[in-house]
C-alpha cells in the first residue's frame, strides 16, 4: 500500500515531516507520494509562494528522510486548478496503486465539496489524521490519531513576515527545516503581509 499526501505546503514544515515519518513507522507504507497543489479550486486566494518555489521547498525538506518518499510535480505543472481525483486516476494508470489518501480532519470536513468524492473513494482508501486534542473520532471513516507538532503554515508565514520586517535573518523560525529556511532566504519568500 502506498500513501498519498497532497497540500499547498505554503511553506512545508516539520509538522509535515513528522506526520510522514509517523505514518511510515506505524502503518508501514511502501512508498509515500507527496503532491504539492498548483491551485486549490476551493481556495479563492492563491498560495503566497509560487508553485515552483513550493515544489522546491518540499523536495528540499523531504530529501533527508532517506526512504521511499516521492515528490510528484504533476499538479504544479498542470494547468490550474488541481483536482485530487485527476491525480489519483493518473496514479492508477501509472501503476502506483493501491493507494491511501491521507488528509487532516480539517480538510476532510470539506471533502464532500471536492470534485467527484465518490470516485476518489473508489480510487483510494481514505485515512483521516486527527491531532492530539481532536474531538471524538469521525464517523464512517478510518482515522489515525497522533501527537502532531505545533506548527502550521499560517503561523509560519506570520513568523517569516516578522523576520523580514525585523531584518534579523540569523534565527530560523521554529518548525522550518534548515534547507527550507535557506531557500526562503535566498528567494526572499513570505516578505509580504501574510493576510
User: Which grid cell is 5?
Assistant: 499526501
User: What is the reported pTM?
Assistant: 0.90
87 domain residue, yes or no: yes
Residue 67 confidence (pLDDT): 73
54 domain residue, yes or no: yes
Rounded to an integer, the average pLDDT of 174-188 is 96
158 domain residue, yes or no: no
- What does the alpha-carbon distance between residue 189 and residue 97 come to, in Å, rounded to a whole number? 35
183 domain residue, yes or no: no
Structural domain of 123: 2-149
Residue 69 confidence (pLDDT): 93
Residue 112 confidence (pLDDT): 93
**Cα angle for residues 126, 32, 2 (degrees, 5° grid):** 55
Nearby residues of 189 by Cβ (< 8 Å), 6 or more positions away = 11, 48, 49, 53, 160, 183
177 domain residue, yes or no: no
Alpha helices (H) along the chain:
14-27, 51-62, 74-77, 84-93, 105-108, 117-123, 153-166, 178-187
Residue 171 confidence (pLDDT): 87
- What does the alpha-carbon distance between residue 44 and residue 25 come to, in Å, rounded to a whole number? 36
Confidence of residue 133 (pLDDT cuts 50, 70, 90): low
Residue 138 confidence (pLDDT): 66
pLDDT over threshold 90, residue 50? yes
What is the domain count for the chain? Answer: 1
92 domain residue, yes or no: yes
Output the average pLDDT for the chain.
91
pLDDT over threshold 90, residue 141? no
187 domain residue, yes or no: no
Torsion of CA 55, 33, 95, 83, to 10 degrees: -60
Rounded to an integer, the average pLDDT of 127-153 is 80
- CATH assignment of the domain containing 139: 3.40.50.620
pLDDT over threshold 70, residue 136? no
Rounded to an integer, the average pLDDT of 1-22 is 95
117 domain residue, yes or no: yes
Amino acid at each position: 500500500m502506498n500513501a498519498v499526501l497532497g497540500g499547498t505546503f505554503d511553506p512545508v514544515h516539520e509538522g509535515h515531516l513528522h506526520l510522514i515519518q509517523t505514518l511510515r513507522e506505524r502503518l508501514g507504507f511502501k512508498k509515500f507520494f507527496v503532491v504539492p497543489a498548483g491551485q486549490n479550486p476551493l481556495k479563492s486566494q492563491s498560495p503566497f509562494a509560487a508553485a515552483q518555489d513550493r515544489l522546491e521547498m518540499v523536495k528540499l525538506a523531504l530529501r533527508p528522510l532517506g526512504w521511499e518518499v516521492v515528490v510528484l510535480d504533476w499538479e504544479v505543472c498542470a494547468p490550474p486548478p488541481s483536482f485530487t481525483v485527476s491525480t489519483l486516476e493518473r496514479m492508477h494508470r501509472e501503476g502506483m496503486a493501491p493507494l491511501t489518501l491521507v488528509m487532516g480532519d480539517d480538510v476532510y470536513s470539506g471533502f464532500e465539496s471536492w470534485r467527484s468524492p465518490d470516485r476518489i473513494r473508489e480510487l483510494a482508501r481514505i485515512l483521516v489524521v486527527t491531532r492530539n486534542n481532536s474531538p471524538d473520532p469521525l464517523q464512517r471513516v478510518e482515522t489515525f490519531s497522533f501527537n502532531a507538532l505545533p506548527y502550521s503554515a499560517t503561523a509560519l508565514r506570520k513568523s517569516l513576515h516578522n523576520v523580514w520586517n525585523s531584518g534579523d535573518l540569523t534565527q530560523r523560525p521554529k518548525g522550518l527545516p534548515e534547507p527550507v529556511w535557506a531557500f526562503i532566504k535566498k528567494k526572499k519568500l513570505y516578505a509580504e503581509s501574510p493576510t
